[in-house]
Structure 1
Amino acid sequence: MSVAKAVVVGVGAEDGLGAAISRCYAANNRHVLVAGRTLEKVEKVAATIRRNGGRATAYAIDTTREEDVIRLFDAAMTHDDDGAPADLVTYNAGKNLKIDFRQMDASTFEDFWRMNTLGGFLVGREAARRLVPLGRGSVFFTGATGALRGMPGFAHFAASKAGLRMISQSMAREFGPQGIHVAHVVVDGAIDGDRVRSLFPGAFEQVGENGMLNTQAIAEAYWQLHLQHPSAWTQELDLRPFKEQF
């Protein structure tokens, strides 16, 4: 019996959130389409899932390219030997960097918008086009605290993440009544992984145990969203370490 597919867009390093979400979905009987910019990275994630007995296929895509996203969803919604059509889509792509507002050029601002907002729109639109006729499915977006408030040096990030949040809200209001669960997850705090540890040496020691978000714990929260009964759907969920101020 074929299993349903799941799409995870925005997968990079094996210790990153996208990889953790992919592993979580695979562990819950989904054939995961692991999508990211770098084929080598996404293939490593997919290979690890397969070695552990799960199902996964790697896709190298640029989520800001419409044709790439359409190609991914064509594969996701096909009923074939790799599984039944997808019922779970997660947009996890994004970028962040502190930049002095006075030093930022227009092309940099646009680059952040393309990754954090336009990519989310394209994935959300294709998900809606494919899932609404079926009357079921979940579409989740990885958000950030910047979607709620703009901090010094992060105007470009906040503007683009706020845009993604509004896409999620509009989709939820439009497609929730048609059976599609759309949720925005605010990840408030540093994610424990090589990227944060390399960029901010000593950060882990400073915050202590459970002071950063564990990727597997975040991934489990996404899966629980997918399992929610339609009479009690969450539209926005915020996750943070218990030590994080907010």
Structure 2
Amino acid sequence: MNIPYRSALIIGAGPGISASLTRRLRAANIPVIIAARNVDKLASLVDETGAIALPVDATDPRQVETLFAQADARIGAPEIVAYNASGELRGPITELDPIAVDRAVAVSALGAFYVVQQAARRMAPAGNGAILMTGSTASVKGFAGSSPFAMAQFAMRGLAQSAARELTPKGIHVAHFIIDGAVRAGLDDRATAPDSLLDPDAIAQSYVDVLRQPRSAWSWEIELRPWVEKF
């Protein structure tokens, strides 16, 4: 079954899940824009796949609005929007810098909202589209020393659940992915711990499988973990 969407925008792009998803979508001849604060790190992925790299700070609603306008002009209104950005800040509650906490929460929570809002404004009139959001173990479980990350990830999950209930009847597939474990970063990981790390290519395949789901059986949330991960 082909992917039933014609264009994609991936925000918070990097060398892991986003890169693997970009490769999958480009292999299906879907034009892809990859966006990040630092687009220099995306040069090799652009060369490899032909994706378009654009800069954005997702915590700035004006930059997000500009990014979507650029996407409209370059590939048409994106029918797949994936939000993979997160602000990871860890440390004892008594020692955390409030300004740094504000920034970390803004990336996962406010940034996700700004992106979902812009995506929904384009998808709702068409009655078509998919919004994918990447969460983590912290989306459902807060760990000691990780309160900012838990707050941010809980917020994103709440946004995804609310958006799914609001937008699904309008033909927009909203899905949240709980990545319950560490993701392989390179070949060294494969050699030292082949079973304990999630393969980004396998994660991307799950994203594509969700994109292919018939409307009569849509998932709003998927959990992914290695078979040896404890949960």
Aligned to 1:22: 22
- How far apart are 1:83 and its partner, in Å? 3.9
- How far apart are 1:240 and its partner, in Å? 0.2
Aligned to 1:5: 7
Paired amino acid for 1:71 = T
Give the 3-state SS of the residue equivalent to 1:58 in structure 2: strand
| Residues 176, 182 of structure 1: 8 Å contact kept | yes
Q: Quote the sequence identity (%).
A: 33
For 1:72 and 1:149, locate their aligned partners in 2 and report how far apart those are by CA, in whole Å: 32
CA RMSD of aligned residues (A): 1.9
Residues 127-166 of structure 1 correspond to what in structure 2 (within 5 A)?
127-166=119-158
- How far apart are 1:220 and its partner, in Å? 0.8
1:146-176 Cα deviation digits (max 9, x unpaired): 1101110011100110000011011100010
Paired amino acid for 2:63 = D
Establish whether residue 61 from structure 1 lines up as the match of residue 61 from structure 2.
no
**Which of 91, 95, 106 in structure 2 is aligned with 1:114?**
106
| Residues 87, 105 of structure 2: 8 Å contact kept | no
For 1:85 and 1:29, locate their aligned partners in 2 and report how far apart those are by CA, in whole Å: 16
Give TM-score scaled by structure 2 length.
Answer: 0.92
Instruction: Report runs of 4+ in structure 1 exceeding 3 Å deviation.
Output: 82-85
| Residues 135, 176 of structure 2: 8 Å contact kept | yes
Residues 182-201 of structure 1 correspond to what in structure 2 (within 5 A)?
182-194=174-186
Establish whether residue 230 from structure 1 lines up as the match of residue 223 from structure 2.
no
- How far apart are 1:203 and its partner, in Å? 10
Paired amino acid for 2:78 = A
Give TM-score scaled by structure 1 length.
Answer: 0.87
For 1:105 and 1:86, locate their aligned partners in 2 and report how far apart those are by CA, in whole Å: 37
Aligned to 1:53: none
- How far apart are 1:19 and its partner, in Å? 1.3
Paired amino acid for 1:60 = P
